[in-house]
Structure 1
Protein backbone atom coordinates (compact mmCIF):
# COMPACT_ATOMS: atom_id res chain seq x y z
CA UNK A 1 0.00 0.00 0.00
CA UNK A 2 3.00 2.31 0.36
CA UNK A 3 3.95 3.88 -2.99
CA UNK A 4 7.53 3.56 -4.17
CA UNK A 5 9.75 5.89 -6.13
CA UNK A 6 12.42 4.75 -8.55
CA UNK A 7 15.82 6.23 -7.72
CA UNK A 8 18.15 7.38 -10.48
CA UNK A 9 20.02 4.05 -10.39
CA UNK A 10 16.83 1.99 -10.78
CA UNK A 11 16.50 0.98 -7.11
CA UNK A 12 12.95 1.30 -5.79
CA UNK A 13 12.44 3.04 -2.43
CA UNK A 14 9.26 3.34 -0.33
CA UNK A 15 8.04 6.94 -0.33
CA UNK A 16 7.01 6.72 3.32
CA UNK A 17 9.36 5.32 5.93
CA UNK A 18 10.07 5.32 9.65
CA UNK A 19 12.78 7.48 11.25
CA UNK A 20 14.54 6.83 14.56
CA UNK A 21 16.35 10.13 15.17
CA UNK A 22 16.73 10.77 18.93
CA UNK A 23 15.24 7.40 19.86
CA UNK A 24 17.46 5.81 22.55
CA UNK A 25 18.94 2.49 21.52
CA UNK A 26 17.12 0.62 24.30
CA UNK A 27 13.77 1.93 22.98
CA UNK A 28 14.56 1.55 19.30
CA UNK A 29 13.90 -2.18 18.98
CA UNK A 30 10.35 -1.83 20.30
CA UNK A 31 9.60 1.23 18.17
CA UNK A 32 10.90 -0.36 14.97
CA UNK A 33 9.13 -3.64 15.67
CA UNK A 34 5.90 -1.65 16.14
CA UNK A 35 6.51 0.17 12.86
CA UNK A 36 7.20 -3.02 10.94
CA UNK A 37 4.09 -4.67 12.39
CA UNK A 38 2.07 -1.62 11.29
CA UNK A 39 3.34 -2.03 7.73
CA UNK A 40 6.39 0.20 7.37
CA UNK A 41 9.17 -1.35 5.32
CA UNK A 42 11.68 1.53 5.14
CA UNK A 43 13.75 2.32 8.25
CA UNK A 44 16.07 5.34 8.47
CA UNK A 45 18.89 5.43 11.03
CA UNK A 46 22.44 6.82 11.26
CA UNK A 47 25.71 5.99 12.95
CA UNK A 48 25.55 9.12 15.10
CA UNK A 49 22.06 8.25 16.37
CA UNK A 50 23.61 5.45 18.42
CA UNK A 51 20.70 3.11 17.76
CA UNK A 52 21.77 0.94 14.84
CA UNK A 53 21.95 -2.10 17.15
CA UNK A 54 18.34 -1.55 18.21
CA UNK A 55 17.28 -1.30 14.58
CA UNK A 56 19.18 -4.49 13.76
CA UNK A 57 17.54 -6.40 16.62
CA UNK A 58 14.11 -5.29 15.43
CA UNK A 59 14.81 -6.31 11.84
CA UNK A 60 15.97 -9.75 12.98
CA UNK A 61 13.01 -10.25 15.33
CA UNK A 62 10.38 -9.05 12.89
CA UNK A 63 10.46 -12.00 10.54
CA UNK A 64 10.07 -9.63 7.58
CA UNK A 65 12.08 -11.00 4.63
CA UNK A 66 15.19 -8.94 3.91
CA UNK A 67 14.15 -8.28 0.33
CA UNK A 68 11.01 -6.52 1.59
CA UNK A 69 13.01 -4.08 3.73
CA UNK A 70 14.69 -0.81 2.79
CA UNK A 71 17.34 0.19 5.33
CA UNK A 72 19.15 3.53 5.32
CA UNK A 73 22.07 4.58 7.49
CA UNK A 74 24.47 7.49 7.36
CA UNK A 75 28.18 8.25 7.62
CA UNK A 76 29.04 10.75 10.35
CA UNK A 77 31.44 13.65 9.71
CA UNK A 78 34.17 12.19 11.94
CA UNK A 79 34.40 9.32 9.43
CA UNK A 80 34.82 11.43 6.29
CA UNK A 81 37.66 10.19 4.09
CA UNK A 82 38.14 7.14 1.88
CA UNK A 83 39.40 4.57 4.41
CA UNK A 84 37.35 5.96 7.28
CA UNK A 85 34.18 5.59 5.23
CA UNK A 86 34.85 1.97 4.41
CA UNK A 87 35.48 1.15 8.08
CA UNK A 88 32.42 3.12 9.15
CA UNK A 89 30.06 1.20 6.90
CA UNK A 90 31.49 -2.12 8.06
CA UNK A 91 30.84 -1.02 11.65
CA UNK A 92 27.27 0.01 10.83
CA UNK A 93 26.60 -3.26 9.02
CA UNK A 94 27.84 -5.25 12.01
CA UNK A 95 25.52 -3.33 14.34
CA UNK A 96 22.58 -3.71 11.97
CA UNK A 97 23.28 -7.40 11.44
CA UNK A 98 23.22 -6.94 7.66
CA UNK A 99 25.49 -7.75 4.74
CA UNK A 100 24.45 -4.55 2.96
CA UNK A 101 22.20 -1.55 3.40
CA UNK A 102 19.83 -0.25 0.76
CA UNK A 103 20.93 3.39 1.01
CA UNK A 104 24.09 4.91 2.49
CA UNK A 105 24.28 8.67 2.95
CA UNK A 106 26.98 11.19 3.80
CA UNK A 107 25.25 12.77 6.81
CA UNK A 108 26.57 16.35 6.44
CA UNK A 109 28.89 17.95 3.88
CA UNK A 110 31.09 19.58 6.56
CA UNK A 111 32.22 22.11 3.93
CA UNK A 112 35.14 23.59 5.88
CA UNK A 113 37.19 20.95 4.10
CA UNK A 114 36.66 19.16 0.79
CA UNK A 115 36.64 15.76 2.50
CA UNK A 116 33.14 15.01 1.29
CA UNK A 117 34.47 14.80 -2.28
CA UNK A 118 36.95 12.04 -1.46
CA UNK A 119 34.31 10.41 0.72
CA UNK A 120 31.86 10.35 -2.16
CA UNK A 121 34.34 8.37 -4.22
CA UNK A 122 34.62 5.91 -1.33
CA UNK A 123 30.83 5.50 -1.36
CA UNK A 124 30.99 4.74 -5.08
CA UNK A 125 33.45 1.96 -4.26
CA UNK A 126 31.19 0.63 -1.50
CA UNK A 127 28.30 0.49 -3.95
CA UNK A 128 30.49 -1.33 -6.46
CA UNK A 129 31.36 -3.81 -3.66
CA UNK A 130 27.60 -4.35 -3.16
CA UNK A 131 27.67 -3.15 0.43
CA UNK A 132 24.94 -0.66 -0.41
CA UNK A 133 22.37 -0.68 -3.19
CA UNK A 134 22.30 3.10 -3.53
CA UNK A 135 24.33 6.04 -2.27
CA UNK A 136 23.31 9.58 -1.49
CA UNK A 137 23.79 12.59 0.72
CA UNK A 138 22.06 14.46 3.50
CA UNK A 139 21.96 18.22 4.14
CA UNK A 140 23.81 19.04 0.93
CA UNK A 141 23.24 22.50 -0.51
CA UNK A 142 23.07 23.14 -4.28
CA UNK A 143 26.75 24.14 -4.43
CA UNK A 144 27.78 20.86 -2.78
CA UNK A 145 25.72 18.90 -5.30
CA UNK A 146 27.35 20.79 -8.16
CA UNK A 147 30.81 19.87 -6.89
CA UNK A 148 29.84 16.19 -6.70
CA UNK A 149 28.39 16.33 -10.20
CA UNK A 150 31.64 17.88 -11.45
CA UNK A 151 33.50 14.73 -10.40
CA UNK A 152 31.83 13.04 -13.35
CA UNK A 153 30.89 9.85 -11.51
CA UNK A 154 27.77 8.68 -9.74
CA UNK A 155 25.04 11.23 -9.07
CA UNK A 156 23.55 10.93 -5.56
CA UNK A 157 20.31 8.98 -5.54
CA UNK A 158 18.88 10.90 -2.57
CA UNK A 159 19.44 14.20 -0.77
CA UNK A 160 17.85 14.08 2.67
CA UNK A 161 17.17 17.63 3.89
CA UNK A 162 15.12 19.40 6.53
CA UNK A 163 11.81 19.99 4.79
CA UNK A 164 8.32 20.81 6.05
CA UNK A 165 5.68 23.48 5.43
CA UNK A 166 7.57 26.04 7.55
CA UNK A 167 10.90 25.41 5.77
CA UNK A 168 10.40 24.30 2.18
CA UNK A 169 14.04 24.55 1.10
CA UNK A 170 12.98 25.43 -2.44
CA UNK A 171 16.51 26.00 -3.81
CA UNK A 172 17.71 22.61 -2.60
CA UNK A 173 14.59 20.88 -3.93
CA UNK A 174 15.13 22.55 -7.32
CA UNK A 175 18.79 21.46 -7.34
CA UNK A 176 17.77 17.91 -6.50
CA UNK A 177 15.29 17.93 -9.36
CA UNK A 178 17.92 19.31 -11.76
CA UNK A 179 20.20 16.35 -11.02
CA UNK A 180 17.41 13.71 -10.83
CA UNK A 181 18.03 13.30 -7.08
CA UNK A 182 15.13 12.23 -4.88
CA UNK A 183 14.25 14.69 -2.11
CA UNK A 184 13.80 13.06 1.30
CA UNK A 185 12.40 15.13 4.16
CA UNK A 186 13.72 14.95 7.70
CA UNK A 187 11.81 16.69 10.49
CA UNK A 188 8.81 16.42 8.15
CA UNK A 189 6.35 17.58 10.82
CA UNK A 190 8.55 20.51 11.93
CA UNK A 191 8.63 18.90 15.39
CA UNK A 192 4.93 19.76 15.65
CA UNK A 193 5.39 23.48 14.90
CA UNK A 194 2.96 23.49 11.96
CA UNK A 195 0.27 21.21 13.34
CA UNK A 196 -1.80 24.07 14.78
CA UNK A 197 -1.61 26.29 11.69
CA UNK A 198 -5.03 27.01 10.20
CA UNK A 199 -4.47 25.54 6.71
CA UNK A 200 -3.38 22.26 8.33
CA UNK A 201 -6.17 22.09 10.91
CA UNK A 202 -8.78 23.07 8.31
CA UNK A 203 -7.67 20.28 5.97
CA UNK A 204 -7.63 17.82 8.88
CA UNK A 205 -11.22 18.74 9.76
CA UNK A 206 -12.33 18.51 6.14
CA UNK A 207 -10.92 15.01 5.68
CA UNK A 208 -11.52 13.64 9.18
CA UNK A 209 -7.81 13.02 9.79
CA UNK A 210 -5.13 14.35 12.14
CA UNK A 211 -2.99 17.42 11.37
CA UNK A 212 0.08 15.16 11.23
CA UNK A 213 -1.61 13.01 8.60
CA UNK A 214 -2.34 16.15 6.57
CA UNK A 215 1.31 17.23 6.62
CA UNK A 216 2.55 13.75 5.67
CA UNK A 217 0.01 13.68 2.83
CA UNK A 218 1.24 17.13 1.71
CA UNK A 219 4.77 15.72 1.46
CA UNK A 220 3.63 12.70 -0.52
CA UNK A 221 1.64 14.76 -2.98
CA UNK A 222 4.64 17.07 -3.43
CA UNK A 223 6.71 14.00 -4.41
CA UNK A 224 8.92 13.95 -1.30
CA UNK A 225 10.14 10.84 0.45
CA UNK A 226 9.11 11.28 4.09
CA UNK A 227 10.30 9.60 7.32
CA UNK A 228 8.17 10.67 10.31
CA UNK A 229 9.32 9.56 13.75
CA UNK A 230 7.29 8.51 16.76
CA UNK A 231 7.63 6.07 19.63
CA UNK A 232 3.88 6.04 20.35
CA UNK A 233 2.17 3.01 18.75
CA UNK A 234 -1.02 4.94 17.94
CA UNK A 235 0.89 7.71 16.16
CA UNK A 236 3.15 5.22 14.39
CA UNK A 237 0.04 3.65 12.86
CA UNK A 238 -1.65 6.99 12.17
CA UNK A 239 1.39 8.31 10.33
CA UNK A 240 1.11 5.38 7.93
CA UNK A 241 -2.66 5.73 7.46
CA UNK A 242 -2.46 8.52 4.88
CA UNK A 243 -3.64 6.81 1.70
CA UNK A 244 -7.40 7.04 2.16
CA UNK A 245 -7.68 10.74 1.33
CA UNK A 246 -6.17 13.31 -1.01
CA UNK A 247 -5.56 16.99 -0.42
CA UNK A 248 -7.10 19.40 -2.91
CA UNK A 249 -5.00 21.79 -4.94
CA UNK A 250 -6.37 24.63 -2.81
CA UNK A 251 -5.34 22.87 0.41
CA UNK A 252 -1.83 22.23 -0.90
CA UNK A 253 -1.45 25.88 -1.94
CA UNK A 254 -2.63 27.03 1.48
CA UNK A 255 -0.10 24.79 3.22
CA UNK A 256 2.60 25.98 0.82
CA UNK A 257 1.88 29.45 2.17
CA UNK A 258 3.14 28.49 5.63
CA UNK A 259 6.76 28.99 4.54
CA UNK A 260 8.72 30.92 7.17
CA UNK A 261 12.05 30.70 8.95
CA UNK A 262 11.03 27.44 10.56
CA UNK A 263 14.36 25.62 10.74
CA UNK A 264 14.43 23.05 13.55
CA UNK A 265 18.05 21.94 13.07
CA UNK A 266 21.37 23.55 12.11
CA UNK A 267 22.14 25.00 8.72
CA UNK A 268 24.44 22.75 6.66
CA UNK A 269 27.19 25.37 6.81
CA UNK A 270 27.17 25.19 10.62
CA UNK A 271 28.10 21.49 10.90
CA UNK A 272 31.81 21.12 10.33
CA UNK A 273 34.70 18.90 11.28
Structure 2
Protein backbone atom coordinates (compact mmCIF):
# COMPACT_ATOMS: atom_id res chain seq x y z
CA UNK A 1 0.00 0.00 0.00
CA UNK A 2 1.41 3.40 -0.99
CA UNK A 3 2.12 5.98 1.70
CA UNK A 4 -0.48 8.70 2.24
CA UNK A 5 -0.34 11.69 4.56
CA UNK A 6 -3.04 14.18 5.55
CA UNK A 7 -2.52 17.89 6.19
CA UNK A 8 -4.53 20.80 7.54
CA UNK A 9 -4.43 24.15 5.77
CA UNK A 10 -3.70 27.12 8.03
CA UNK A 11 -5.24 30.59 7.72
CA UNK A 12 -2.12 31.85 5.90
CA UNK A 13 -2.35 29.12 3.27
CA UNK A 14 0.48 26.99 4.69
CA UNK A 15 -0.05 23.32 5.52
CA UNK A 16 0.70 21.35 8.68
CA UNK A 17 0.94 17.54 8.94
CA UNK A 18 -2.19 16.24 10.66
CA UNK A 19 -0.07 14.26 13.15
CA UNK A 20 3.09 15.17 15.04
CA UNK A 21 4.70 11.78 15.62
CA UNK A 22 7.47 12.79 18.03
CA UNK A 23 6.42 15.09 20.84
CA UNK A 24 9.55 15.79 22.89
CA UNK A 25 7.68 16.90 26.00
CA UNK A 26 5.54 14.77 28.37
CA UNK A 27 7.46 11.47 28.34
CA UNK A 28 10.83 13.06 27.51
CA UNK A 29 10.63 16.27 29.58
CA UNK A 30 13.58 17.01 31.89
CA UNK A 31 13.58 19.15 35.03
CA UNK A 32 17.14 20.20 34.32
CA UNK A 33 19.36 20.07 31.26
CA UNK A 34 22.99 19.09 31.73
CA UNK A 35 25.69 17.75 29.38
CA UNK A 36 25.41 14.45 31.24
CA UNK A 37 21.67 13.85 30.89
CA UNK A 38 21.28 13.89 27.10
CA UNK A 39 18.68 11.20 26.43
CA UNK A 40 20.16 8.85 23.83
CA UNK A 41 16.83 7.01 23.60
CA UNK A 42 15.10 10.20 22.43
CA UNK A 43 17.91 10.94 19.96
CA UNK A 44 17.49 7.46 18.51
CA UNK A 45 13.72 7.80 18.36
CA UNK A 46 13.90 11.08 16.42
CA UNK A 47 16.58 9.66 14.11
CA UNK A 48 14.38 6.67 13.33
CA UNK A 49 11.33 8.90 12.83
CA UNK A 50 13.30 10.95 10.31
CA UNK A 51 13.74 7.83 8.15
CA UNK A 52 9.96 7.52 7.70
CA UNK A 53 8.29 8.59 4.46
CA UNK A 54 6.50 11.91 4.16
CA UNK A 55 6.91 15.08 6.21
CA UNK A 56 7.84 14.20 9.79
CA UNK A 57 6.41 16.54 12.42
CA UNK A 58 8.50 17.04 15.59
CA UNK A 59 7.05 18.99 18.52
CA UNK A 60 9.58 20.75 20.77
CA UNK A 61 9.69 23.54 23.36
CA UNK A 62 12.36 25.33 25.32
CA UNK A 63 10.84 24.26 28.65
CA UNK A 64 11.14 20.56 27.68
CA UNK A 65 14.94 20.93 27.77
CA UNK A 66 15.36 18.51 24.88
CA UNK A 67 17.07 20.76 22.31
CA UNK A 68 20.32 18.76 22.58
CA UNK A 69 18.49 15.58 21.56
CA UNK A 70 16.52 17.24 18.74
CA UNK A 71 19.61 19.06 17.45
CA UNK A 72 21.75 15.93 17.47
CA UNK A 73 19.13 13.90 15.62
CA UNK A 74 18.65 16.64 13.02
CA UNK A 75 22.39 16.91 12.45
CA UNK A 76 22.66 13.18 11.76
CA UNK A 77 19.61 12.94 9.50
CA UNK A 78 19.74 12.87 5.71
CA UNK A 79 16.09 13.90 5.43
CA UNK A 80 15.70 17.21 3.52
CA UNK A 81 14.74 20.17 5.72
CA UNK A 82 11.53 20.73 3.77
CA UNK A 83 10.42 17.22 4.76
CA UNK A 84 10.74 18.03 8.47
CA UNK A 85 8.12 20.13 10.27
CA UNK A 86 9.49 21.55 13.54
CA UNK A 87 7.25 23.12 16.18
CA UNK A 88 8.88 25.12 18.97
CA UNK A 89 7.39 27.00 21.93
CA UNK A 90 8.39 29.98 24.03
CA UNK A 91 7.94 29.37 27.75
CA UNK A 92 5.83 32.10 29.34
CA UNK A 93 5.14 30.35 32.64
CA UNK A 94 8.70 29.37 33.54
CA UNK A 95 11.22 31.91 32.30
CA UNK A 96 13.97 30.25 30.30
CA UNK A 97 14.93 33.11 27.96
CA UNK A 98 14.27 36.84 28.05
CA UNK A 99 11.45 37.08 25.50
CA UNK A 100 10.04 35.31 22.42
CA UNK A 101 12.59 36.83 20.05
CA UNK A 102 15.54 35.81 22.21
CA UNK A 103 13.87 32.43 22.78
CA UNK A 104 13.59 31.58 19.10
CA UNK A 105 17.02 32.98 18.22
CA UNK A 106 18.45 30.76 20.97
CA UNK A 107 16.67 27.62 19.80
CA UNK A 108 17.58 28.19 16.14
CA UNK A 109 21.22 28.42 17.15
CA UNK A 110 21.03 25.37 19.39
CA UNK A 111 19.21 23.30 16.76
CA UNK A 112 21.49 24.64 14.00
CA UNK A 113 18.58 25.50 11.71
CA UNK A 114 17.50 28.72 9.96
CA UNK A 115 13.82 28.62 10.84
CA UNK A 116 11.11 26.64 12.60
CA UNK A 117 7.86 25.73 10.92
CA UNK A 118 5.69 26.75 13.87
CA UNK A 119 6.42 28.87 16.93
CA UNK A 120 3.97 29.06 19.83
CA UNK A 121 3.50 31.00 23.04
CA UNK A 122 3.35 28.08 25.46
CA UNK A 123 0.66 29.59 27.70
CA UNK A 124 -1.33 32.83 28.11
CA UNK A 125 -0.06 33.47 31.62
CA UNK A 126 1.99 36.58 30.91
CA UNK A 127 2.37 39.74 32.99
CA UNK A 128 4.64 42.77 33.27
CA UNK A 129 5.51 41.73 36.82
CA UNK A 130 6.55 38.19 35.94
CA UNK A 131 7.75 38.47 32.34
CA UNK A 132 8.58 42.15 31.85
CA UNK A 133 6.06 42.40 29.00
CA UNK A 134 2.35 41.94 28.36
CA UNK A 135 0.62 39.21 26.38
CA UNK A 136 0.01 41.74 23.63
CA UNK A 137 3.72 42.68 23.60
CA UNK A 138 4.61 38.99 23.32
CA UNK A 139 2.33 38.57 20.33
CA UNK A 140 3.87 41.56 18.54
CA UNK A 141 7.26 39.88 18.94
CA UNK A 142 5.81 36.70 17.45
CA UNK A 143 4.61 38.73 14.46
CA UNK A 144 8.11 40.16 14.00
CA UNK A 145 9.63 36.67 13.99
CA UNK A 146 7.07 35.64 11.38
CA UNK A 147 7.82 38.65 9.18
CA UNK A 148 11.56 38.03 9.53
CA UNK A 149 11.12 34.47 8.25
CA UNK A 150 12.43 32.84 11.41
CA UNK A 151 9.18 30.94 11.74
CA UNK A 152 6.80 29.97 8.95
CA UNK A 153 3.74 30.03 11.22
CA UNK A 154 2.88 31.43 14.64
CA UNK A 155 0.38 30.45 17.27
CA UNK A 156 -0.44 29.88 20.90
CA UNK A 157 -0.94 27.04 23.35
CA UNK A 158 -3.36 26.54 26.23
CA UNK A 159 -5.25 29.72 25.32
CA UNK A 160 -8.88 30.21 26.32
CA UNK A 161 -11.47 32.18 24.36
CA UNK A 162 -10.75 35.23 26.52
CA UNK A 163 -7.00 34.93 25.92
CA UNK A 164 -7.44 34.65 22.16
CA UNK A 165 -9.78 37.63 22.09
CA UNK A 166 -6.98 39.75 23.59
CA UNK A 167 -4.71 38.74 20.72
CA UNK A 168 -7.36 39.10 18.01
CA UNK A 169 -8.12 42.64 19.19
CA UNK A 170 -4.58 43.90 18.54
CA UNK A 171 -3.02 41.49 16.06
CA UNK A 172 -1.82 42.24 12.57
CA UNK A 173 -1.32 38.50 11.97
CA UNK A 174 -3.73 36.23 13.79
CA UNK A 175 -2.64 32.92 15.30
CA UNK A 176 -2.56 29.97 12.93
CA UNK A 177 -2.66 27.39 15.74
CA UNK A 178 -3.88 26.90 19.31
CA UNK A 179 -2.34 23.78 20.86
CA UNK A 180 -4.47 22.51 23.73
CA UNK A 181 -5.00 19.38 25.81
CA UNK A 182 -7.72 17.53 23.90
CA UNK A 183 -8.97 13.96 23.86
CA UNK A 184 -12.23 12.03 24.02
CA UNK A 185 -12.39 12.62 27.78
CA UNK A 186 -11.52 16.34 27.52
CA UNK A 187 -13.30 17.77 24.51
CA UNK A 188 -12.89 21.41 25.55
CA UNK A 189 -9.79 22.38 27.52
CA UNK A 190 -11.59 25.59 28.46
CA UNK A 191 -15.23 26.59 27.82
CA UNK A 192 -16.11 26.85 24.13
CA UNK A 193 -12.51 26.87 22.90
CA UNK A 194 -12.92 24.27 20.13
CA UNK A 195 -15.91 25.98 18.52
CA UNK A 196 -14.31 29.42 18.91
CA UNK A 197 -11.06 28.42 17.20
CA UNK A 198 -12.80 26.60 14.39
CA UNK A 199 -15.12 29.55 13.76
CA UNK A 200 -12.13 31.94 13.68
CA UNK A 201 -10.06 29.78 11.30
CA UNK A 202 -7.49 28.89 13.98
CA UNK A 203 -6.43 25.25 13.71
CA UNK A 204 -6.41 23.27 16.95
CA UNK A 205 -3.64 20.89 17.95
CA UNK A 206 -4.23 18.20 20.56
CA UNK A 207 -1.57 17.19 23.05
CA UNK A 208 -2.22 14.13 25.24
CA UNK A 209 -4.74 12.81 22.70
CA UNK A 210 -4.32 9.28 24.10
CA UNK A 211 -5.15 10.19 27.69
CA UNK A 212 -8.03 7.67 27.83
CA UNK A 213 -5.48 4.90 27.20
CA UNK A 214 -2.89 6.31 29.59
CA UNK A 215 -5.32 6.46 32.53
CA UNK A 216 -7.70 3.64 31.74
CA UNK A 217 -10.26 2.97 34.53
CA UNK A 218 -10.18 -0.39 36.29
CA UNK A 219 -13.53 -1.49 34.83
CA UNK A 220 -12.70 -0.46 31.27
CA UNK A 221 -13.62 -3.88 29.88
CA UNK A 222 -17.25 -3.12 30.84
CA UNK A 223 -17.18 0.51 29.68
CA UNK A 224 -19.12 1.28 26.49
CA UNK A 225 -16.42 3.69 25.26
CA UNK A 226 -13.63 1.12 25.45
CA UNK A 227 -15.84 -1.65 24.09
CA UNK A 228 -16.69 0.47 21.06
CA UNK A 229 -13.05 1.41 20.45
CA UNK A 230 -12.11 -2.26 20.71
CA UNK A 231 -14.74 -3.16 18.13
CA UNK A 232 -13.16 -0.63 15.76
CA UNK A 233 -9.69 -2.10 16.29
CA UNK A 234 -11.09 -5.44 15.11
CA UNK A 235 -12.97 -3.92 12.18
CA UNK A 236 -9.98 -1.95 10.86
CA UNK A 237 -7.11 -4.12 12.17
CA UNK A 238 -5.66 -1.08 13.94
CA UNK A 239 -4.55 -0.36 17.50
CA UNK A 240 -6.62 1.55 20.05
CA UNK A 241 -4.13 4.39 19.76
CA UNK A 242 -4.60 4.60 15.99
CA UNK A 243 -8.39 4.66 16.39
CA UNK A 244 -8.25 7.53 18.89
CA UNK A 245 -5.66 9.49 16.90
CA UNK A 246 -7.79 9.08 13.79
CA UNK A 247 -10.80 10.34 15.76
CA UNK A 248 -8.82 13.46 16.71
CA UNK A 249 -7.90 14.22 13.11
CA UNK A 250 -11.47 13.55 11.98
CA UNK A 251 -12.56 16.20 14.48
CA UNK A 252 -10.42 18.64 12.47
CA UNK A 253 -7.65 18.70 15.09
CA UNK A 254 -3.91 18.02 14.65
CA UNK A 255 -2.79 15.17 16.93
CA UNK A 256 0.52 15.46 18.83
CA UNK A 257 1.69 12.10 20.10
CA UNK A 258 4.88 10.29 21.07
CA UNK A 259 6.10 6.92 22.26
CA UNK A 260 9.19 5.13 23.46
CA UNK A 261 8.31 2.35 21.00
CA UNK A 262 9.26 3.08 17.41
CA UNK A 263 6.50 0.80 16.11
CA UNK A 264 3.97 3.24 17.58
CA UNK A 265 5.72 6.19 15.95
CA UNK A 266 5.45 4.31 12.65
CA UNK A 267 1.77 3.64 13.33
CA UNK A 268 1.17 7.36 13.84
CA UNK A 269 3.03 8.38 10.67
CA UNK A 270 1.02 5.77 8.75
CA UNK A 271 -2.28 6.79 10.34
CA UNK A 272 -4.07 7.57 7.09
CA UNK A 273 -4.19 4.05 5.72
CA UNK A 274 -7.77 3.89 7.04
CA UNK A 275 -10.67 6.16 7.93
CA UNK A 276 -13.54 6.18 10.39
CA UNK A 277 -17.10 6.71 9.23
CA UNK A 278 -18.96 9.85 10.28
CA UNK A 279 -21.16 7.68 12.50
CA UNK A 280 -18.12 6.14 14.23
CA UNK A 281 -16.59 9.57 14.85
CA UNK A 282 -19.89 10.73 16.33
CA UNK A 283 -20.19 7.64 18.53
CA UNK A 284 -16.67 8.05 19.97
CA UNK A 285 -17.49 11.71 20.64
CA UNK A 286 -20.78 10.85 22.36
CA UNK A 287 -19.35 8.00 24.47
CA UNK A 288 -16.32 10.09 25.41
CA UNK A 289 -18.54 12.90 26.66
CA UNK A 290 -20.17 10.49 29.13
CA UNK A 291 -16.86 10.41 31.03
CA UNK A 292 -15.77 13.00 33.54
CA UNK A 293 -13.11 15.42 32.32
CA UNK A 294 -9.69 13.76 32.40
CA UNK A 295 -7.12 16.53 32.57
CA UNK A 296 -3.42 15.72 32.94
CA UNK A 297 -1.98 19.26 32.79
CA UNK A 298 -2.76 22.81 33.96
CA UNK A 299 -4.98 21.40 36.70
CA UNK A 300 -4.51 24.35 39.02
CA UNK A 301 -5.56 26.79 36.31
CA UNK A 302 -8.27 24.81 34.50
CA UNK A 303 -9.82 22.17 36.80
CA UNK A 304 -12.52 24.76 37.58
CA UNK A 305 -13.80 24.14 34.04
CA UNK A 306 -14.01 20.35 34.30
CA UNK A 307 -17.80 20.14 34.06
CA UNK A 308 -17.93 22.57 31.13
CA UNK A 309 -15.02 20.79 29.42
CA UNK A 310 -17.23 17.79 28.69
CA UNK A 311 -20.28 19.72 27.45
Aligned with 1:52 (options 55, 67, 73)? 67
Q: State the TM-score, normalizing by the size of structure 2.
A: 0.81
Which residue is 2:48 aligned to? 34
Q: Distance in 2 between matches of 1:156 and 1:79?
A: 22
Q: Shift of the alpha carbon at 1:247?
A: 1.3
Greater CA deviation, 110-119 or 171-180?
110-119
Greater CA deviation, 22-31 or 206-215?
22-31
Q: Distance in 1 between matches of 2:89 and 2:194?
A: 20
Q: Shift of the alpha carbon at 1:88?
A: 1.1
Once the two structures are superposed, residues 216-263 of structure 1 have per-residue CA deviations (whole angstroms, 9 ceiling, x without a partner) of 111121111111111211211122232222212232122102123111
Contact 2:51 2:79 in 1 (8 A): no
Does residue 8 (structure 1) correspond to residue 11 (structure 2)? The answer is yes
Q: Distance in 1 between matches of 2:160 and 2:126?
A: 10
Which residue is 1:89 aligned to? 104
Does residue 224 (structure 1) correspond to residue 253 (structure 2)? The answer is yes
Greater CA deviation, 71-80 or 51-60?
71-80
Q: Shift of the alpha carbon at 1:4?
A: 1.5
Q: State the TM-score, normalizing by the size of structure 1.
A: 0.91
Which residue is 2:236 aligned to? 207
Q: Shift of the alpha carbon at 1:112?
A: 6.1
Once the two structures are superposed, residues 113-163 of structure 1 have per-residue CA deviations (whole angstroms, 9 ceiling, x without a partner) of 672221011111111111111110000001101110000421100000001
RMSD over aligned Cα atoms = 2.3
How many positions carry a matched residue from both structures?
270
Greater CA deviation, 235-244 or 110-119?
110-119
Which residue is 1:64 aligned to? 79
Which residue is 1:180 aligned to? 201
Residues 241, 268 of structure 1: alpha-carbon distance in 2 compared, 3 angstrom cutoff: farther
| Structure of higher CA gyration radius | 2
Residues 88, 201 of structure 1: alpha-carbon distance in 2 compared, 3 angstrom cutoff: same
Structure 1, unpaired ranges of 5+: none
Structure 2, unpaired ranges of 5+: 30-37, 221-225, 303-311
Q: How is 1:87-126 mapped onto 2 (pairs within 5 angstroms)?
A: 87-110=102-125, 115-126=134-145
Q: Distance in 2 between matches of 1:264 and 1:63?
A: 36
Greater CA deviation, 180-189 or 232-241?
232-241
